[in-house]
Amino acid sequence: MPHVKVAKKSTDTDMTPFVDVAFLILSFFIMATQFKPPEPVPVETPNSVSSDILKEENAMLITVDKDNKVFININEKKGGNTGKLESVITDISQSRNLNLGPKEITSFKNAPIIGVPFNSLKGYLDLPLDNQKKFVAPGIPVLDTLNNELVWWIASVKKAFAGQKLLYLVKGDNKSKYPTFEAIINALRKNEEFKYNLVTSQEGAPEGTDLYKERRGIK
């Protein structure tokens, strides 16, 4: 019988297009990714259907972590060293008789986030920056209605940003309890601030609801 010779085909595949695509995707992700900035306080925010993008410039951020500790930090305009932080801390130092020196004022400007009561603020600011990061902050006391220290902070920040647009951002953790949030609202209210923003993650409007119909243009 005559043998039919089957050509032996190589099992090797050309990987080049595959590699091309892989690296294309890789470069896309490298470009599109913004690294999460290291958060001084880890917070898991709740979801909402709101689609307004967060603006962080000229804002006072009030953070509540999962143990109901309250932290604040003040974001100035990017690149602009307008001395706002200095006036905030000087004002606090004066109104609360803390006797902060120039060293502590500089330390405050570099501090990532503040979460200590007034009586330990000086000690906290005296620590070197590396130790500040390791320091387990007890949070700003807010729950005591008579001694809500956040009221003083907001008053000083408000004074420093007088005449300028200042956003109040409240960033709470899913697990934090309502009384802390209420205390923050009360602190803002005492300073005659009634408009603020809650930081959330975005989610879509559930189907069939009024908002869903509105966004889709269904009457």
Partner 1 sequence: MASIDTGGGDSHKKGPGVKKAKKLSTRVDMTPMVDLGFLLITFFIFTATMKSPTTMDLNMPKETDQKDETKIKQSGALTIMLGKDDHVYYYEGELDDKGSNFKSTNFKEIRKIIQDKKKDVIKNHVHDDKCEEIRQKAKNRIPQDPNWQNADLDRDFVVVIKPDAEATYKNTVDILDEMTINAVKRFAMVKISETEDALIKRTEGGK
- Which residue ranges make up the site for partner 1 (CB under 8 A)? 12, 15-16, 18-19, 22-23, 25-26, 29-30, 32-36, 45-55, 64, 169, 172-182, 185, 188-189, 192, 194-202, 205-206, 209-212, 214
| Residue (128 or 206) nearer to partner 1, CB | 206
Q: Nearest approach, Cβ of 28 to partner 1 (angstroms)?
A: 9
By beta-carbon proximity to partner 1, the closer residue of 130 and 207 is: 207
Residue 74's nearest CA partner among 150, 200, 167 is: 167
Which is closer to partner 1, CB of 56 or CB of 94? 56
Provide, rounded to whole angstroms, the least separation between the CB of residue 218 and partner 1: 13
Place of tokens 């690149």: 79
Q: How far is the CB of 94 from partner 1 (least distance, A)?
A: 27
Work out how close the CB of 68 gets to partner 1 at its nearest, in angstroms, rounded to a whole number.
9
Angle at 146 between CA 144 and CA 147, to 5 degrees: 65
Beta carbons of 169 and 199 less than 8 angstroms apart: yes
Radius of gyration of the chain (CA): 26
The residue whose two tokens read 């009561």 is 117
Q: How far apart are CA 213 and CA 206, in angstroms?
A: 10
